[in-house]
Amino acid sequence: METRTEALKKLDSFNFDFMLNNSVIRCDNCKLCDEKSDLVKNEHWFKIFCYQFVRNVQTLYEIINSRHDLRERRCNTLNYWIHDRVTNFYNKSGIKVQNVDIISELLKVWEHMKSSKYEKQTYICELHKSEQSKNLEEMKRKKIMFDYCENYNTLKSLLTKPYYSNCNIYYDYFRDSVHEFSKIAKVHNEQCFSINNCFRFCKNYDPEDLLNNSKCKVVEISKDKKEYIQKEECEASKVEAVSQAISKTKEVKISEFTFSDNRAIILILLSLWGVFLTFLFLYKMTPFRSWISNKIGKRKIMRDHFNEQSDDETLNADYECMDKNMQNAGYNISYNTEWNT
């Protein structure tokens, strides 16, 4: 997307203002600044200003030679540019002008250019003398009205197309222009009627009602920064925002977890059970299990063997006791007489 400046260059008056303040690249008569100005020709700040002035005069005549209807407007704009630059920059920026009338120095250069190069022109742009600089505010008012009347039809074309890139820039510019023009025309109505091609705007400031009939209406999103968005984009953004808000999952507030919570006891028991199962798994899967089984098995065998030996010793003791008793005891056997028969 083009920048605001690049987009507004489609307006002739804005483009001319832009060229007036541009840096000097090509200048056929800039040497006159060094030849015709005696008092400040060696001052760097004056050379820059004078070079721009000479280049702007050249640009002015290139335009008005093909657009005769713009002669007066472009000449007034050049005059305003000169006096505005001297009054609001060079006289206030702390530059030491050494009590030199800067405009008088420029007029020396201009007179030579007029006599040598533009003498045969059918229209000669006359520059205001230095003592007329007190009318700077009047010059500014006239320029604003000139520009508004000139740009109206161009802006109408740009704002009533079904779709045009950067139309929000033009709508913003037009809205500011209408507001500024209406304030001036209301107070200085006679001056408005005296300007060519401004007659129909002096009473009805927006005869085509472009602010309401524009295909590209905008919504202000930042008053301080003068930022705007197209109305269609604004409506689309609102619909998208609403749909996102509806589909957005509501946040569930989770209470703070503490060890006094019943859930903590459950988690602890589950953790202990998990530890037990882990040790059991390791016991079954590692050689440590076989070693323990062998140890336990050996102990069982030894215990059983010990019990068997204990039983044998008890029996032997009983037998020995019985033999001794039998040896020591007398025989008590009854005699049966029937045996002899």
Mean pLDDT of 138-152: 94
Q: Are residues 114 and 150 in the same domain?
A: no
Is position 158 within any domain?
A: yes
Q: Are residues 57 and 111 in the same domain?
A: yes
Burial of 181 from C-beta contacts in 10 A (0-12 / 13-18 / 19+):
buried
Long-range contacts of the stretch 69-75 (C-beta < 8 A, 24+)? 70/12, 70/150, 71/123, 71/125, 72/196, 73/13, 73/146, 73/150, 74/16, 74/125, 75/125, 75/126
Considering only 158-167, 177-186, 190-199, 311-320, which range has the smallest mean pLDDT? 311-320
Q: Are residues 115 and 154 in the same domain?
A: no
Beta bridge partners of 230: 218
Q: Tell me which of 181, 216, 251 is where a domain ends.
A: 216
Mean pLDDT of 166-190: 93
Is position 68 within any domain?
A: yes
Number of structural domains in the chain: 2
* Predicted confidence (pLDDT) at residue 315 exceeds the cutoff of 50: no
Is position 96 within any domain?
A: yes
Name the CA dihedral angle for 152, 157, 161, 166, rounded to a multiple of 10 degrees: -70
Q: Tell me which of 128, 159, 187 is where a domain ends.
A: 128
Mean pLDDT of 324-336: 49
Q: pLDDT over 90 for what percent of the chain?
A: 29
Mean pLDDT of 35-45: 78
Q: Tell me which of 128, 147, 179 is where a domain ends.
A: 128
Q: Are residues 191 and 113 in the same domain?
A: no
Is position 157 within any domain?
A: yes
pTM for the predicted model, two decimal places: 0.63
Q: Are residues 2 and 124 in the same domain?
A: yes
Q: Are residues 72 and 139 in the same domain?
A: no
Note down the domain range covering 176: 135-216
